[in-house]
Amino acid sequence: MTVVAAVRELRRVFGGTVAVDGAGWSAAAGSVTAVLGPNGAGKTTTIECLEGLQRPDAGSVRVLGADPWRAPAEHRARVGVMLQEGGLPTTARPLPLLVHLAALHNTPRSVDDLAARLGIHEFARTAVRRMSGGQRQRVALAAALVGTPDVLFLDEPTAGLDPHARLDVWDLVREESRRGAGVVLTTHSFEEAERLADRVVVMARGRVVADGTLDEVRSGSRLEDVYFALTRDAR
Amino acid sequence: MTATPAPARRRVLAQARFETRTLLANGEQLLVSLVLPALALAGLTLAAVPDLGPSRRVDVATAGALALAVLSTAFTGQAIATGFDRRAGVLRLFGTTPLGRGGLLAGKAVAVLTVLALQVLVIGALGAALGWRPDPGGLLPALLGLLLGAGTFVALALLLAGTVRAEAVLALANLAWILLLGLGVLLPTAELPDALGGVARALPSGALGDAVRASLLDGTWPWQQWLVLTAWGLAAAAAAGRWFRWSG
């Protein structure tokens, strides 16, 4: 098993609030790792440390063997990121934006193919600020995929999507995993975790309260029952 | 096959192209960057007031319009664009791409220079049509002054955009544009009331306006004004380096 992302004893504090408190888990190449947890559990903070957007106060994170905070362009070219807030320029139209992001890579995916897969051509002339939440999600996912990354960090990739679009995204995530990429996603959807995840990490109050294969974490029960039992006190 | 980044220069040029297109496709930005400096040039040249001093009106007005172009693009435009990009998470997302934060800033700088070159061409052509005759010996120092001013005002823009909310950036950048316009950008500081002129000379607006006018009207190398611009630029860059927040 090739580890593409590893979190060790990670601690992140904002003022007096401990967002992540000694969390540790890892994600492998060619697999999907779903990180679940209530709001404020530390999922996004952990993912943002892995993306190089935040610096750990203690502990460490490694992505493709490197410290993402200091990583050079060669590292970032191998990492695809989808932020929870999107991060798309509000005045841009989707295709020129994706063409631009593709131009930052040596061997990008075909923007046309990606746009067709995600139904982006339907709103190709719409500026980001006029798009629906679901349309923005699709463009943000395409932006994460355009460089053919070895590891993908997707922060709530299907939030706000209609059921058809959600299925399209799930298909793409599975394809990325089959291609050999390590996919780490955060989600509030048990269905998403059960359909996609090879490994499940449950976080609550900054700590990891469950970590294992889907079957190990479920241990014969429904995932949502296990989740509610593990996180009841964290709300 | 392992994904690799495009070469650094190609990444920065791609970002510059993207930013330039975004700037030029923005109607409000075009208004501030090109239409208002052009109107200021025509208005100051053709009207009899305010007093622009002993030099030919068109020469003073063209130099002022060029300084205004720098203020508009390097400060107001960059501050507002960066402030809203920061709020939308664009700075964070682009920082995770092969471009990185350094490439993003370099791309923005090249985009500002590209738009500035376009502004110089348009305003220069309009000035020439109105009878502008710059001192040929002053063209090089004027260009250096415009570049120095662009650097200083981009640093000030980043300081503003990286430290306050996007809505406040919008309000403050527009307010500063209006105030600085009257503090030495369009009118020579020597023509302002004494106290106001002294204040204007110590501000980057007055230093930039007087520097461009001194070069284009008299062919001089205005070291004193360049020193003021450099001091503001270094202070703003240091403060932006210290306090700029990539998320908002």
> Which among A87, A105, A150 has CB closest to B5?
A105
Distance CA A201, CA A150 (A): 20
Cβ-in-10-Å burial (0-12, 13-18, 19+) of B49 comes to exposed
Q: How far is CA B72 from CA A8, A42, A140, B36, B68, in A?
A: 48, 42, 31, 9, 6
Give ipTM to 2 decimals: 0.93
Per 3-state DSSP, chain B is made up of helix, strand and coil in percentages (nearest 5) of 80, 0, 20
> Which among B14, B26, B96 has CB closest to A76?
B96
Position B32 scores a pLDDT of 87
Nearest CA in chain B to A101: B97
Average pLDDT in the B47-52 region?
Answer: 87
Average pLDDT in the B127-141 region?
Answer: 95
Pairing of the two strands A17-28 and A3-14: antiparallel
Q: Are A185 and A179 in contact (CB under 8 A)?
A: no
Position A235 scores a pLDDT of 63
Residue A170 has pLDDT above 80, yes or no: yes
pLDDT band at A16 (very low <50, low <70, confident <90, very high): confident
Average pLDDT in the B12-16 region?
Answer: 96
Average pLDDT in the B223-229 region?
Answer: 97
Distance CA A174, CA A192 (A): 12
pLDDT band at B22 (very low <50, low <70, confident <90, very high): confident
Q: Which of B97, B170, B247 should be substituted to probe chain A, the one whose Cβ sees the most A Cβ atoms within 10 Å? A: B97
Check CB contact of B230 with chain A, cutoff 8 Å. Answer: no
Contact flag A104-B97 (C-beta cutoff 8 Å): yes
Residues in chain B with CB shorter than 8 Å from the CB of A141 are none
pLDDT band at A6 (very low <50, low <70, confident <90, very high): very high
Q: How far is CA A128 from CA A82, A104, B172, in A?
A: 15, 20, 25
Residue B27 has pLDDT above 90, yes or no: no
Q: And the tokens for B60? A: 């003073």
Domain ranges of chain A: 1-78+151-157+177-235
What are the phi and psi torsion angles at A187 (to 5°)? -160, 155
pLDDT band at A160 (very low <50, low <70, confident <90, very high): confident
Residues in chain B with CB shorter than 8 Å from the CB of A88 are 88-90, 93
Distance CA B51, CA A147 (A): 58
One CATH from 3.40.50.1370, 3.30.70.20, 3.40.50.300, 3.40.50.2300 for A1-78+151-157+177-235: 3.40.50.300
- Shortest alpha-carbon distance between residue B244 and chain A (Å): 14
Contact flag B4-A107 (C-beta cutoff 8 Å): yes
Q: What is the pTM of this model?
A: 0.90
Check CB contact of A107 with chain B, cutoff 8 Å. Answer: yes
Q: Are A74 and A231 in contact (CB under 8 A)?
A: no
Position A185 scores a pLDDT of 96
Bridge partners of residue A25, in order along the sequence: A7
Check CB contact of B94 with chain A, cutoff 8 Å. Answer: yes
Q: A230-234, B94-98, B205-209: lowest mean pLDDT where? A: A230-234
Residue type, B201: R
Residues in chain A with CB shorter than 8 Å from the CB of B102 are none
Residue A189 has pLDDT above 70, yes or no: yes
Position B17 scores a pLDDT of 96
pLDDT band at A1 (very low <50, low <70, confident <90, very high): confident
Check CB contact of B2 with chain A, cutoff 8 Å. Answer: yes
If phi > 0 it is left, if psi is from -120 to 50 it is alpha, else beta; for residue B22 that is alpha
What is the average pLDDT value for chain B, to the nearest integer?
94
Q: Which of B96, B167, B246 should be substituted to probe chain A, the one whose Cβ sees the most A Cβ atoms within 10 Å? A: B96
Position A72 scores a pLDDT of 95
Position B26 scores a pLDDT of 82
Q: Are A54 and A12 in contact (CB under 8 A)?
A: yes
Residue A188 has pLDDT above 80, yes or no: yes
- Residues sharing a CB contact under 8 Å with residue A221, sequence separation 6 or more, in sequence order: none
Angle at which helix B194-202 crosses helix B204-218, to 10 degrees, equals: 90
> What percentage of chain A reaches a pLDDT higher than 70?
99
Contact flag A101-B1 (C-beta cutoff 8 Å): no
What is the average pLDDT value for chain A, to the nearest integer?
94
Cα atoms found within 13 Å of the Cα of residue B84, Cβ hemisphere only: 17
Q: And the tokens for B17? A: 């192209």
Contact flag B99-A87 (C-beta cutoff 8 Å): no
Check CB contact of B102 with chain A, cutoff 8 Å. Answer: no
Residues in chain A with CB shorter than 8 Å from the CB of B103 are 73
Contact flag B84-A90 (C-beta cutoff 8 Å): yes
pLDDT, tens digit (0-9, with 9 covering 90-100), for A38-66:
999 999 999 999 999 999 999 999 999 99
Contact flag A105-B3 (C-beta cutoff 8 Å): yes
